[in-house]
């Protein structure tokens, strides 16, 4: 599964799937990544978070689960 974190102008961050399904919105990018890592750990899945994304939007980062 591929998850993305989108940072908004108000500094909140949304964790979403690659097809655009919103998982949750957090108070910061750090909180969103932490939730992603914890969820993957709890489900025994490997997570590979990337600082850069395949998109042209620099406020979006990819997380491969």
**pLDDT in single tens digits along all 65 residues of the chain:** 678 888 899 999 998 888 889 989 999 988 988 888 887 777 666 655 554 344 445 455 555 54
Q: What pLDDT is recorded for position 55? A: 44
Beta strands in the chain (DSSP E): 2-7, 13-17, 22-26, 48-49, 60-64
Q: What are phi and psi of 54, to 5 degrees?
A: -80, -10
Q: What pLDDT is recorded for position 22? A: 92
Task: Identify whether the C-beta of residue 53 lies closer than 8 Å to the C-beta of residue 60.
Answer: yes
Q: What pLDDT is recorded for position 60? A: 54
Considering just the CA atoms, what is the radius of gyration of the chain in Å?
A: 11
């Amino acid at each position: 599964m591929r998850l993305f974190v989108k940072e908004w102008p108000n500094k909140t961050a949304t964790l979403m799937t690659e097809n655009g399904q919103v998982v949750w919105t957090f108070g910061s990018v750090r909180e969103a990544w932490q939730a992603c890592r914890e969820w993957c750990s709890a489900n025994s899945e490997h997570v590979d978070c990337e600082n850069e994304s395949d998109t042209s939007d620099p406020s979006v980062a990819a997380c491969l689960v």
